[in-house]
Structure 1
């Protein structure tokens, strides 16, 4: 297993981590198979999504904020980040990504993202062969 560190700079953002994960795949010596890319956080998720057009990440964050607005009047969680927990639940905190030829086997437009919903923070992402 390899642990990656990702610094986020905003409360909500999508950070491309594909190159970091590919580096972990190389260091782990995985030629063929798959890796689990996992966030051990309850307010940050991992997803595979289009990475060529930054408007896609913007639109995803916008829609997730509409589904789970910050400081909803019915929220009981005292930390004030119930929206971040719900957004992470919707996105998920892990992805299994195939590895072919020692690299992530992603589609033409796909990237691996850490989705930050309660930053800025220093986040950890685990990369494990599966």
Structure 2
């Protein structure tokens, strides 16, 4: 297993596509990505238009507002846990000759909901 270390903002989508491809070493097969954290996630989304990330984060904020009167979690980051639940913490992607096989507009993102932090992305080549 290999690890990527990603510095993140307070909240946002961090494009990790090239970083993942940088450790594929010509691999053809599947690439399993996992984040061992409970307040961030992984997603495949459009990477060309930054308004997509803005809009997605805005809609997630509506679904899971930062402060909710019924939240009881002492750290006050229940919103980040819920967003991570919605996004998911793993991806399984195809690769060929060291490149991820993605659609024309697709990129791989680490979705940060409780930063800034240094996050780990675990990478297993299958």
Q: Distance in 2 between matches of 1:59 and 1:19?
A: 23
| Corresponding residue SS for 1:60 | helix
1:68 equivalent to 2:64? Answer yes
Q: Distance in 2 between matches of 1:87 and 1:37?
A: 18
> What pairs up with 1:29-48 in 2 under 5 angstroms?
29-30=26-27, 32-48=28-44
Identify the match of residue 80 of structure 2 among 56, 78, 84. Answer: 84
Structure 1 match to 2:4 = 4
Segments of 4+ in structure 1 off by > 3 A? none
The total of aligned residue pairs comes to 126
Q: Distance in 1 between matches of 2:55 and 2:2?
A: 31
**Structure 1, residues 17-61: CA drift from partner, whole Å, max 9, x if none?**
0000001112xx52x111111111000100001000000011110
**Deviation for aligned residue 1:101:** 2.2
Q: What is the TM-score when the length of structure 2 is the normalising length?
A: 0.97
| Corresponding residue SS for 2:54 | helix
Q: Distance in 2 between matches of 1:73 and 1:106?
A: 41
Q: Identify unmatched segments of 5+ residues in structure 2.
A: none
CA RMSD, Structure 1 to Structure 2 (Å): 0.8
